[in-house]
Structure 1
Amino acid sequence: MPTEDVQPRPPHELPRIPVALSTSSVYPMGVAEGFSIADDLGYDGMEVMVTHRSESQQASTLNELSWRFGLPIMAIHAPTLLLTQQVWGSAWEKLKRSAALAQEVGAGVVVAHPPFRWQVGYAEGFAEGIEQLEQETGVLFAVENMYPWRAGTREATMYLPHWDPVDQPYPHVTWDFSHAATAEADSLEAVRALGQRLRHVHLTDGWSNGFKDDHLIPGQGEQRVAEAMELLARPDFAETGFNGVVAVEVATRTARNVGDRERWLAESLAFARTHLGQE
């Protein structure tokens, strides 16, 4: 906790659409490194991906980092990935603990993936369950778009009721441009269709290349990312549409040279600022 003789840095004024950095963007580095890089580059806040690492799960640690770097935590990503199936127990327990963590760190949104088809007892009542959790906790659950799993010309049904949340009864949605590319979906049309239901954005990019989820720097793939960002920023759309956070979620684990990771994340932030009309 901060000592009495050290005053926290006053928070800077946030733009209407804040640009956060997801801690997954600095993998395999840790949460503290994510905060530090975000602070150096001028991000507005953080999205914290809950993983096996204890620092991503502990409100006291996250609040200390938020205080130290002057960066609010704007979203918690629940451990609903395949790689985090062992974190925090059952599927419903993951969401309950994610909501509790969000409450403790002041984040208003939990990002969650749609259920896997084999999660019996969870998938069938998922929409109703997250609605109940929202009412109980005051935290919003923004269900993220995923993509079909393909093997050659065959497509496996991995998510129930579907990998695309646009036509599902979720009141709040996260849109990920890389997942959209893998699914061969049109992000610009999805943003238009979602309107006020769009609560959170994972800013990235990708190519329609089968099962590869690229998470490229925005503008380096084939999605209409720039146009979608410009739509979010339009005053007429803002009145009836997006009222959330854009979180940069790009893959930097292939960075080999000193400064590559920071340069890629700076480019992503500059892309966001430009197309949101903040520069």
Structure 2
Amino acid sequence: MVRVPTVKVGLSTSSVYPESTASGFELARRLGYDGVELMVGIDPVAADIDAVEKLRDYHGVSVLAVHAPCLLITQRVWGTDPWAKLERSAEAATRLGADVVVVHPPFRWQRDYARGFVDGIRRLTETTGIAFCVENMYPWRTPAGELKAYVPGWDPSELDYADLTLDFSHASTAGQQSLDLVRSWGSRLRHVHLTDGSGSVIDEHLVPGRGDQQAEAVLAELGRQGFDGHVVLEINSRRNPTRASREQDLAESLAFTRQHLATSRTPPSP
């Protein structure tokens, strides 16, 4: 017997870059994804919630999650106050019908923000009704050694966050295994960025199944556990030589995800 989970499989709009947010919605609809995760700031449209709302309605594609503009390249999107950016992300999620905001831990130079980050994330989740899911990151490695780039830390495992996002590529860069994190985080795992990595010091975001993260086994484990969050494909397709090859990777990734989330179940004894 096979149990087919009801997990929604989404496409991060960052997965189509350098194509636009509009292309992300169009490809998600055409390829059969259940929705998108909006990467705020990847292009001007992504930061314009009026425009995103029109894309959602035009394509009939749900917005499952909003990724707050907390990357290095989006530091000035929606201003420079990190708490104001998170509040605005929650407002966008509410308006678009999403139930998750993905957020990275603060950079080490964001001292005031970092000082109250754990409590602030808890407060935002409680007051907005949106799950702020803190994402696992990785140490920055330089010729001079390892740099502590994130505060209170790149690994959220031992910190008091209620909801977490697991990124397979970040786990690979950190020298971790996603399967171990799934098992140790338990019910705190709320959101998944499905991708892969080869253990490089560079965050690769490979197509799932093309790296060292045992993506098939992790998806099967999520299925067995009855995971009820979202699984979002977040790959780097910038090096795809053509749009057709990008579409092929996105289509294969969707099929891969749904296949391995469906888990075998032993029938009950007569």
TM-score range, shorter chain: over 0.9
- Displacement after TM superposition at 1:278 (Å): 8.2
Match of 1:43 among 13, 33, 39: 33
**1:98 aligns to 2:83 (yes or no):** no
Spell out, residue by residue over 1:226-277, the C-alpha distance to the aligned partner (whole angstroms, 9 max, x if none).
111101111xx22xxx321000000111111340110011111111011111
Spell out, residue by residue over 1:2-24, the C-alpha distance to the aligned partner (whole angstroms, 9 max, x if none).
xxxxxxxxxxxx96111000000
In structure 1, the residue matched to 2:150 is 159
**1:69 aligns to 2:59 (yes or no):** yes
TM-score by length of 1: 0.90
Alignment root-mean-square deviation, CA: 1.6
Match of 2:116 among 125, 138, 147: 125
- 2:42 and 2:185 mapped to 1: Cα distance? 32
Name the structure, 1 or 2, with higher relative contact order (CA <8 Å, separation 6+). Answer: 2
- 2:259 and 2:130 mapped to 1: Cα distance? 30
1:251 partner letter: N
Match of 2:228 among 221, 225, 243: 243
How many pairs align?
260
- 1:16 and 1:152 mapped to 2: Cα distance? 46
2:114 counterpart SS class: coil
In structure 2, the residue matched to 1:266 is 251
Moved over 6 A (4+): none
2:211 counterpart SS class: coil
In structure 2, the residue matched to 1:114 is 105
- 1:278 and 1:38 mapped to 2: Cα distance? 24
Spell out, residue by residue over 1:128-155, the C-alpha distance to the aligned partner (whole angstroms, 9 max, x if none).
0011111221111000011000013711
2:65 counterpart SS class: strand
Spell out, residue by residue over 1:107-133, the C-alpha distance to the aligned partner (whole angstroms, 9 max, x if none).
000000011111011101101001111
In structure 1, the residue matched to 2:50 is 60
- 2:260 and 2:157 mapped to 1: Cα distance? 23
Match of 2:189 among 198, 205, 221: 198
In structure 2, the residue matched to 1:7 is none
Spell out, residue by residue over 1:153-205, the C-alpha distance to the aligned partner (whole angstroms, 9 max, x if none).
71110011110111111100000000111001111010011111001000000
| Contact residue 5 and residue 262 of structure 2 kept, 8 A | no
In structure 2, the residue matched to 1:188 is 179
Structure 2 counterparts to residues 166-181 of structure 1, below 5 A: 166-181=157-172
What is the percent sequence identity of the aligned residues?
49
- Displacement after TM superposition at 1:60 (Å): 2.3
| Contact residue 47 and residue 77 of structure 2 kept, 8 A | no
- 2:242 and 2:6 mapped to 1: Cα distance? 35
2:41 counterpart SS class: coil
TM-score by length of 2: 0.93
- 1:49 and 1:26 mapped to 2: Cα distance? 11
1:25 counterpart SS class: helix
- 2:51 and 2:166 mapped to 1: Cα distance? 28
Spell out, residue by residue over 1:70-113, the C-alpha distance to the aligned partner (whole angstroms, 9 max, x if none).
21100000000011111112111111110111011010000000
Structure 2 counterparts to residues 209-224 of structure 1, below 5 A: 209-210=200-201, 212-224=202-214
Spell out, residue by residue over 1:43-76, the C-alpha distance to the aligned partner (whole angstroms, 9 max, x if none).
0101000006332122222222112222110000
In structure 2, the residue matched to 1:30 is 20
**1:256 aligns to 2:241 (yes or no):** yes
1:253 partner letter: R
- 1:232 and 1:52 mapped to 2: Cα distance? 29
